[in-house]
Amino acid sequence: MIVYCAGAIKGDSSYKENYSAIIDIIREYQHSALSELNPEFHSPFPLDDRQIFQRDIKWIEKSNLMIAEISGASLGVGFEIAYALYIRKIPVLAVYNANIDNISSMVTGCDSEFLSIKKYDNDGELREMIKSFLNEQILY
């Protein structure tokens, strides 16, 4: 399965390690994790903003689902979630750390049938959420 991974890069990247962990977990389950943080897909040369936009849209277009780390505020991640939900109509799991209490209302207020929002306390919970989400999508 191809999974697009989203997380704050230029916004509040305080949870970048958790974003990286999501990629690692997906790869451990033998799925493809599309993300610039995945060493398999890291560009050997710097990309300008237009190239990044085109690459990420192309990746979302190729993906079966998306997992987004939303603990840190990021306009880009919000854009990617909206694109996945309303253009591609693919399942999106949005996860955030339980220490965060100000997740965007544009995400928490969204009633798309394709969106699941979960909070995690630790790496074990994050791993279990991802495993469960992947398994649900395989069975669906």
Of residues 126 and 38, more confidence is placed in 126
Return the SS3 of 92: strand
Return the SS3 of 137: helix
Domains of the chain with CATH codes: 2-43+60-139 (3.40.50.450)
Which among 127, 106, 134, 136 has a CA at the least distance from the CA of 18? Answer: 127
- What are the pLDDT digits (tens) for 46-61? 999 999 999 999 999 9
Rounded-to-integer distance, Cα 34 and Cα 41, Å? 7
pLDDT of residue 42: 78
- What are the pLDDT digits (tens) for 61-79? 999 999 999 999 899 999 9
Under the banding of pLDDT at 50, 70 and 90, the label for residue 22 is very high
Contact 68, 3 (CB under 8 A): no
